[in-house]
Amino acid sequence: MIFFEVAILFFICVTFLMILWMFINLTIKKVRDGRYKKLKNMADILIRNAIFLEQTEEIKLIPITARTAKMLSNDNFRSILTQELLSAKKNISGTAAVNLENLYNQLNLDKYAVKRLRSRRWHIKAKAIQELGIMGQKTHLNKIYRSTNNKNDLVRMEAQTTIVKLYGFEGLRFLDVVSYQISEWQQIKLLQELSRLAPDNFSGIEKWLNSTNMSVIVFALKLVRNYHRFELYDRITELLNHPNEVIRLEAIYTLEKIYTNETSKVLIDKYPLETLKNQKAIVKALQDVGYDDDIPVLIQFLGQDENELKRLIVRTIANINPEGLTEVENLPQSNQYPLDQIIKQIKGELI
C-alpha cells in the first residue's frame, strides 16, 4: 500500500509544481510583454529614422541617441531591434533597405550573428545564417558556404538560400558539391530567391544535369525551363531515358517550355514506354507542343482503360485543334460511356 501513497503524493506534488510553473511563466510573459512593447517602440523609432534618412556626402551615419546606444548592451533590446530590422528589411527595397543594412552594420549587429553562427544548436545557427542573408552580409561567405552541406537539414537549407540571396545565380555553385537531397520545399524557396533577380546566363547547369544527386538534376531541369535554356534541348531529351521516373517527368515538363518542331514526336515516341503519371504529363504537354498531325496518334491512345487519361487526351486534341473533336466523335465508342460524357465536358470547356 505504501506504493500507492507515495505515488499519489508524487502526482499531487508534480501537479502543484506544474501549476506554479504555469503561473510563474505567465507572469514572466506578461512582464516581458510590457517591457517588450517599450523596447519595440525604441527600436521602431530607430528603424523609422533609418528608413527615412536621406544620406548625403556629409551624413553617412544614422543618428543614434545616447540612450539607444547605451541600450545596445542590453541583450533583450538588441534581439528585439534585430527582429524588427529583419521584418522591416523583408518588406522593403531600394534606398530604405540599404539604410537598414547600414544601420545593422553601424551597430555591429553582425558580430552577434557570427557568434551565434558558431552555436551547436541547429535552430540558433540556422537563424543566424538567415539573419546574415537578409541583412546582405557578404563578408561572411565562407562561414555560410561551409554550411550548405551541413548534416542538419534546416541549417543546410538556410545556408543554401542565403548564398543564393547574397550571390544570386553564382551562389548556385553549392549544387556542385551538395550530397544531400534538396527537398521540393527548398527548391521552391531557391527558385523564389532567383525570381527576384534579373535573368542571367549562368553557367554550371550542364554539370548539374549530370549530377549523381537526383534532386540536383530535378532542380537543374526546373532552372532550364524557368530560364528558357534552349541550348540544352538535346540534353533534356536524353533525360527522357533516365531510369528515375521523377527526372523523366521533370524532363517532360521542361521540354514543354523549350520545345521545337520535333518535341511532340519525341514525346509521343516515349509515351508507350512511360508510367501512367508520365503519360498524363506527356499528353498535357502536347496541348502546347502538339500539331494537327499528332491527332491521329492521340486518338489511338484513347484505346486504353484509364478514364482520367482519356479525358486529358480529348482535351489535348481539342486544344490542338477543336476540329479534332469531330474525329473523336466519329469513333464507334464515342456514344458509349465514358467517351460520350468526356466529349460533352470538353465541348463545354471550349465554349
Partner 1 sequence: MTWQSILVDMLTYVFLAYSIVLLSLYVFIGLYSIGEIKKYLFKNSFTDYRALASATQAPGISILAPAYNEGANVIENVRSLLSIHYNNLEVIIINDGSKDDSLEKLIAAYDLYKSDFFVNEQVATKPVRGVYKSRARKYRKLIVVDKVNGGKADALNVGINISQKDYIVCIDVDCILEQDALLKLAKPFLENTDKRVIATGGVIRIANGCTIEDGMLVKINLPNSFLPRMQTLEYIRAFLLGRMAWSRLNGLLLISGAFGAFDKEIAVKCGGYDHNTVGEDMELVVRMRRYMEELKQPYIVSFIPDPLCWTEAPASFKILGRQRNRWARGTIETLRMHKVMFFNPKYRLLGMLSYPYWFFFEYLAPIIEFVGMSCFIILALFGLTNWYFFFCLLALVFSFGIMYSIFAILMEVLTYNQYNRYRDILKLIGTALMEPFIFHPFVVWSSIKGNIDLYQKKNSWGEMTRQGLSTPKKPNS
254 touches 224 (CB < 8 A): yes
CA distance 56 to 340: 73
Binding flag, residue 183, partner 1 (CB under 8 A): yes
Give phi and psi for 7, each to the nearest 5.
-60, -45
Binding flag, residue 240, partner 1 (CB under 8 A): no
Whole-angstrom Cα Rg for the chain:
30
Binding flag, residue 51, partner 1 (CB under 8 A): no
Give the nearest distance from C-beta 1 to partner 1 in angstroms.
Answer: 6
Binding flag, residue 344, partner 1 (CB under 8 A): yes
169 touches 200 (CB < 8 A): yes
Interface pick for partner 1 out of 188, 197, 273, 350 (rule CB under 8 A): 188
CA distance 190 to 18: 44
Binding flag, residue 173, partner 1 (CB under 8 A): no
Interface pick for partner 1 out of 52, 98, 111, 185 (rule CB under 8 A): 185
Letters for 6-25 (x = contact with partner 1 by CB under 8 A, - = none) are -xx--xx-xx--xx-xxx-x
Interface pick for partner 1 out of 139, 192, 260, 326 (rule CB under 8 A): 192
CA distance 231 to 41: 54
Letters for 24-43 (x = contact with partner 1 by CB under 8 A, - = none) are -xx--x--------------
* Residue 215, CA distances (Å) to 126, 198, 201, 220 in order: 22, 24, 22, 8
342 sits in which H/E element = helix 339-350
CA distance 205 to 174: 12
Binding flag, residue 335, partner 1 (CB under 8 A): no
The residue ranges that bind partner 1 (CB under 8 A) are 1, 4-5, 7-8, 11-12, 14-15, 18-19, 21-23, 25-26, 29, 90, 122-123, 126-127, 130, 154, 158, 180-185, 187-189, 191-192, 215, 222, 307-308, 311, 338, 341-342, 344-345, 347-348
